[in-house]
Amino acid sequence: MHTKLSGYAWMGGKLYIGTVLGGVLQMKHREEQGKYSERLNIEHQYLTSMASVRIGKREYLISGDVMGNVSILTSESNRLTDPKLIVAFNIGDPISVIKSIPHSAGNILEKMVVIGTSSGGIFLLSRVNDLVRSGEEGGLAGCIEELKSGPSSTLSEWKAIFDNTSIKTKKSFSDPFDIDISMNLNQVKFKDINIYVDCKDVLGTFELKDSIALKLATSSVLSIDALDTARYLPQYKERAGQMLVSMAHVKMFTQLVSTFAVSDTVRFTGFAVLKRMSSYLPLQLDAVLSGFGNFRTKYGKFKVRWPKTTAKTALINALLYYYKCVGSPPGYIDTNNEVYSKLIFQDREGYEKLQEYCKRFLSKFPSLRINDATNEIFHSFPLDKLFPVTANTSVPNWFMLDNDGCDSTQYLDIYRLYLMTQEQFLTVEAFTPKQLNALEVLGLNYSAITDDSVCDDIHKIIVTYETRYSGNLKSMFDLTDGTTPGSGQGYLGQLYEDGPNEFSSRSYFPSADSDRIFGHVISPSISVEYDPKYILRSSTHKSELVFEASAPELRF
């Protein structure tokens, strides 16, 4: 026997073997017709499971296959009766397992077997009691009809279990039938060929909100504010909360950098000495902040968009709350801000970010608009820089609608920013008021803060925190020991964005419950760029694999 076994069962004192390709076989004695087994006339396709059950003097053999076909054989409880097919039907779902149920006589429906399917479905197969069969004309027929054609029925060619004359006929290709993707997949079995997904490719990028650390630290700050004022003065509690927020941004920086590739960190080598800074935070806050940054799935990587800008902004926000606490801020820090967000710096990432925001804004407008009063037509400016319009082109006032959020002059200023080359952006000495106003319309904020200024001041945060606040904060919270490194891997839940209202969020990738909670509650991303394309590779040239895949083993 050169085929895989699906199971075995006893019925009528005889052994029946289930094989994947051969179906149900009845094992015979050596002296019977000179052969060891005989194939029964049951058209199974890839038999998966079988079981037998005895009810009274009769025994039943139930078998199922990957096409969802179920057949029931019966025999008297002796060696003299040949098996008989009494019913065959289809439940529309591949059969995974069939298990018998110990019989208890006397019930109207006598339970026979439980059938489990590959999609998680569970079916109970029961037999109508012999005493009830005689009452079929009195109402049982109506129940049977509901099983076959009711609104919730999934059965195909259902036959009542006591219909001894019915035999399932083999379908031809001209017969109507329902197509199910899971059934089709289980019909075909290819030879094992080593083809894998190349995980080196980047599946997508996401832009993180700069206010995440502040949002997550708020609950800890409120806990400090609720402490007894007899022990802690209000001014001290306020400053302790500000230092805690500052330290949360330090942790955000170290976590992000721990996930970045070398190709990303070379952009800001000046920050290399800062990636192992200490951070003393409540354990829960530290754990949540350890979920940000680049991450890998089995299909590829997702990366933080504009990594240097995101990490540097976290350090600037750390300095913002440090100077809110100690006072006397330098000129580049405005302590009236709640948080620095959507910054662009005069570097390569700043130019890339500016271009992206300009394209988002300009692509909102249709390719042309018509003035209903004058029938004048205006074509919006092309985004293809190979065919740019001149920067002096005017825009008619009627082109802009009230809900566009800007006037025609601002639209033109934004397009002029879009036309800037990278060299022009990097070498401009100062942005004009019109350019700064255009950045404001885009939601961006230009910052002239240098890397050296940030590096020179950031160590003050650690010294002040350790000498003045960490001791009291240890009595308020369970703090980390200050040496917790970045985890090196972010959470999948970062791919969640804000939904249309405060009760909703949206994501572009399936995730587990923990990531779903993380993403829905925080909604960390401003935008996600997801390109679901996978690179497939094999260890053998594709032309050689054709001969292996051209003749798969099919069975209908």
For residue range 471-527, list pLDDT tens digits in order: 888 888 888 876 667 888 899 999 999 988 888 888 877 778 888 888 888 899 999
User: How far is residue 68 CA from its own chain's centroid?
Assistant: 30
Q: Where are the beta strands (DSSP E) in 171-280?
A: 188-189, 195-197, 202-208
pLDDT of residue 162: 37
Per-residue pLDDT reduced to its tens digit, 81-139: 677 888 888 887 888 899 888 765 566 678 888 998 887 788 888 887 765 555 544 44
**pLDDT tens digit sequence for 428-470:** 988 999 999 999 999 999 999 988 888 888 888 888 888 888 8
Kindly state the helix (H) or strand (E) to which residue 248 belongs, with its residue range.
helix 234-259
CA dist., res. 85 & res. 87, Å (int): 6
Q: Which two tokens stand for residue 460?
A: 């003050």
The pLDDT tens digits for 289-345 are: 999 999 988 778 899 999 999 999 999 999 999 999 998 888 889 999 999 999 999
| Gap between the Cα atoms of 163 and 85, Å rounded | 10
pTM: 0.60
Would you list the DSSP string of 407-447?
-HHHHHHHHHHHH--HHHHHH-SS--HHHHHHHHHHT-EE-
Which residues lie below 8 Å from residue 99, measured CB to CB, with a gap of 6+? 51, 113, 114, 116
Domain positions in the chain are: 5-189, 201-341+449-541, 346-446
| Segment holding 59, helix H or strand E | strand 58-65
